[in-house]
């Protein structure tokens, strides 16, 4: 794959939130405003790019058996750096993101990219991958944050857009709003993807009809069942 | 066996390098973090006190109250104490503690409050941060009004619609803070103000439940204190929840 493609994939075809559906904890929790989305997204991007870079450059020295602890130490180091620097220089933002900065350590996107990409690819392309994924994550967070903020508070980036007569739809900045907006956006993105694929005459990234049988995780199991080869529970034991 | 050592060695090296990097970053950011914390504190003090000329965080009195140490920041103009800021915690918010700073003048009249930390519902309880809510307490003291409760509980302070619990918690916490200030006024305002100590004593006679303050002529206050132990302190707590 070309460099450009590695960068672009984070925005659409492998968007961490809407396609891979990873890192949902910070996604749901901090997107009460567009600004929080940017802060969280950029902090994660920094950690992602740095950890990808370090892991790609030392990938040949890390024995397979201890790769996960090695990745986690690397990621945790960069997260702590972000935490300290943000506390010192962007104190207000640090206060509003609070607990979620240390929790970047356990963000699945970062460990996922380390494991699936950086540990198998060269330094340059890993950095590109980190940047693409990070910006894809950031943009997704900002979009969710902006929608929630505009409906729930009548502002975008703290700038009022509806005027004072707007009665804010509080639900949107409360936890349920995160699920509602995420679900709507996921659905909309899938719909757009299906249309795009139809027009281009390629197979869509997702299926039109979705059931358990079409899910990658369960496909093998269902196929076995269809062929009557699925092991029965007592036999399996 | 050999492999185990190799794995240990690799992990140790990675951990050691990380520790080294973190030690360096931590050292470099220690000062900016301390500055940011101090600036935050000063900002809150500035918000709640009348204009001052000194540095209140360098001019503090620390008192022990119920096992907690409370810092009183004193703002001065021309050497005279014109305002005192201190942090109180309302333990009975809708979700978690509400920490805020109260500023009073030397006679115990509220000059302003500034919410430092809370976890109230955004859009409802979080409105305790709003200027219009905080201003409701400006210029009030323990004697005016006498009823430190929200309107819903028969008090004077209008609660935020839909956030009675948060409003009530803040109102009661301010009252407790003011009582504490009255109680320990002589200590807070520092030595060399005997005439104010005397006024506090007469004020304090209808309250109980605190250790007699050191270095004061307490003939008036003491018998009263010993008669009603444990009363008074819980007074602003009648929650009805």
CB-based contact (8 Å) between A61 and chain B?
yes
Beta carbons within 8 Å of B217's beta carbon, 6+ residues apart: B197, B198, B201
Q: How confident is the model at residue A7 (pLDDT cuts 50, 70, 90)?
A: confident
What average pLDDT does this structure show over B196-220? Answer: 40
What residues of A are in contact with residue B14 (Cβ under 8 Å)?
58, 62, 70, 73-74
What average pLDDT does this structure show over A51-76? Answer: 92
What residues of B are in contact with residue A74 (Cβ under 8 Å)?
14, 18
Return d(Cα A32, Cα A149) in angstroms, integer.
Answer: 6
Residue A95 has, within 13 A of its CA and on its CB side, a CA count of 11
Query: Residue B102 pairs with which residues in a beta bridge?
Result: B86, B113
- pLDDT over 50 at B196, yes or no: no
Of the partner residues A73, A77, A88, the one whose CB lies closest to the CB of residue B33: A88
Identify the residue among B6, B10, B34 best suited for mutation to test binding to A, counting A beta carbons within 10 A and taking the highest.
B10
- pLDDT over 90 at A76, yes or no: yes
Interchain contact, B122 vs A65, CB within 8 Å: no
The full set of domain ranges for chain B reads 49-204
Q: Which residue has the tokens 């605190």?
A: B210
Measure A41 CA to nearest chain B CA, in Å. Answer: 22
Return d(Cα B30, Cα B34) in angstroms, integer.
Answer: 6
Higher pLDDT, A221 or B62: B62
Q: Which residue has the tokens 């009348």?
A: B50
Kindly calculate the radius of gyration of chain B based on its CA atoms and give it in whole angstroms.
23
Of the partner residues B11, B21, B124, the one whose CB lies closest to the CB of residue A77: B21
- pLDDT over 80 at B1, yes or no: no
Return d(Cα A59, Cα A117) in angstroms, integer.
Answer: 11
How many Å separate Cα B190 from the centre of its chain? 18
What average pLDDT does this structure show over A6-24? Answer: 85
CB-based contact (8 Å) between B95 and chain A?
no
What pLDDT digit, counting tens, does each position of B73-128 carry?
888 888 888 888 988 889 888 888 999 999 998 888 899 999 988 888 777 888 88
Q: Which of A144-153, B144-153, B179-188, B231-240 is the most confident on average?
A: A144-153
Contact at 8 Å (CB) between A44 and A134? yes
Residue A122 is given by DSSP the state -
Q: Which of A182-186, B45-49, B52-56, B178-182 is the most confident on average?
A: A182-186
**pLDDT at residue number B204:** 38
What does the mean pLDDT of chain A come to? 85
Q: Which residue has the tokens 């899910």?
A: A215
Q: How many other CB atoms sit within 10 Å of the CB of residue A168?
A: 17
What average pLDDT does this structure show over A44-66? Answer: 92
The two structure tokens encoding residue B163 = 């956030």
Q: How confident is the model at residue A220 (pLDDT cuts 50, 70, 90)?
A: low
**pLDDT at residue number A207:** 64
The total number of residues written for chain A in this structure = 237
Identify the residue among A91, A92, A148 best suited for mutation to test binding to B, counting B beta carbons within 10 A and taking the highest.
A91
User: In terms of Cα–Cα distance, which of B177, B202, B172 is closest to B188?
Assistant: B177
What average pLDDT does this structure show over A63-91? Answer: 92
Return d(Cα A35, Cα A145) in angstroms, integer.
Answer: 8
CB-based contact (8 Å) between A178 and chain B?
no
**pLDDT at residue number B195:** 37
Q: How confident is the model at residue A134 (pLDDT cuts 50, 70, 90)?
A: very high
What average pLDDT does this structure show over A84-91? Answer: 90
**pLDDT at residue number A231:** 64
Return d(Cα B111, Cα B134) in angstroms, integer.
Answer: 10
What pLDDT digit, counting tens, does each position of A35-48 carry?
889 989 999 999 99
User: In terms of Cα–Cα distance, which of A112, A73, A89 is closest to A39?
Assistant: A89
Interchain contact, B29 vs A88, CB within 8 Å: yes
Q: How confident is the model at residue B188 (pLDDT cuts 50, 70, 90)?
A: confident
Residue A39 is given by DSSP the state H
What ipTM, to 2 d.p.? Answer: 0.74
CB-based contact (8 Å) between A91 and chain B?
yes
């Amino acid at each position: 794959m070309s460099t450009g493609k590695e960068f672009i994939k984070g925005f659409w075809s492998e968007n961490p939130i809407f396609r891979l559906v990873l890192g949902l904890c910070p996604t749901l929790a901090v997107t009460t405003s567009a600004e929080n989305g940017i802060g969280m997204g950029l902090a994660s991007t920094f950690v992602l790019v740095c950890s990808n870079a370090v892991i790609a450059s030392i990938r040949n020295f890390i024995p397979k058996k201890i790769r996960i602890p090695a990745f986690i130490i690397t990621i945790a180091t960069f997260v702590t750096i972000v935490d300290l620097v943000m506390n010192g220089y962007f104190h207000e933002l640090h206060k509003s993101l609070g607990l979620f900065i240390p929790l970047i350590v356990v963000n699945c996107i970062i460990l996922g990219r380390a494991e699936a990409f950086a540990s198998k690819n060269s330094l340059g392309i890993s950095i590109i991958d980190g940047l693409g994924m990070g910006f894809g994550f950031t943009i997704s967070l900002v979009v969710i944050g902006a929608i929630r903020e505009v409906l729930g508070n009548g502002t975008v980036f703290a700038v009022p857009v509806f005027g004072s007569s707007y009665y804010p739809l509080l639900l949107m900045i409360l936890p349920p709003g995160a699920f509602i907006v995420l679900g709507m956006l996921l659905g909309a993105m899938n719909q757009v993807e299906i249309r795009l694929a139809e027009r281009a005459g390629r197979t869509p990234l997702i299926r039109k009809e979705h059931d358990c049988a079409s899910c990658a995780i369960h496909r093998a199991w269902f196929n076995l069942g269809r062929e009557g080869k699925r092991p029965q529970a007592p036999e399996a034991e | 066996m050999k492999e185990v050592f190799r794995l240990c060695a690799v992990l140790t090296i990675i951990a050691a390098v990380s520790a080294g990097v973190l030690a360096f970053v931590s050292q470099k950011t220690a000062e900016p973090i301390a500055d940011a914390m101090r600036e935050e504190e000063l900002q809150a003090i500035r918000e709640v006190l009348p204009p001052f000329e000194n540095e209140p965080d360098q001019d503090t009195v620390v008192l022990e109250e119920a096992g907690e140490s409370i810092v009183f920041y004193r703002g001065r103009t021309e050497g005279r104490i014109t305002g005192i800021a201190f942090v109180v915690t309302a333990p009975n918010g809708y979700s978690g503690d509400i920490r805020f700073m109260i500023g009073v003048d030397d006679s115990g009249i509220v000059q302003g409050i500034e919410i430092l930390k809370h976890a109230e519902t955004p859009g409802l309880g979080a409105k305790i941060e709003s200027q219009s809510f905080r201003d409701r307490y400006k210029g009030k003291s323990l004697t005016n009004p006498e009823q430190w409760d929200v309107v819903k509980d028969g008090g004077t302070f209008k609660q935020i619609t839909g956030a009675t619990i948060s409003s009530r918690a803040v109102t009661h916490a301010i009252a407790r803070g003011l009582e504490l200030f009255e109680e320990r006024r002589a200590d807070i305002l520092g030595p060399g103000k005997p005439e104010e100590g005397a006024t506090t004593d007469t004020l304090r006679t209808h309250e109980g439940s605190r250790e007699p303050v050191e270095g004061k002529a307490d003939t008036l206050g003491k018998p009263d204190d010993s008669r009603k132990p444990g009363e008074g302190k819980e007074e602003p707590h009648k929650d009805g929840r």
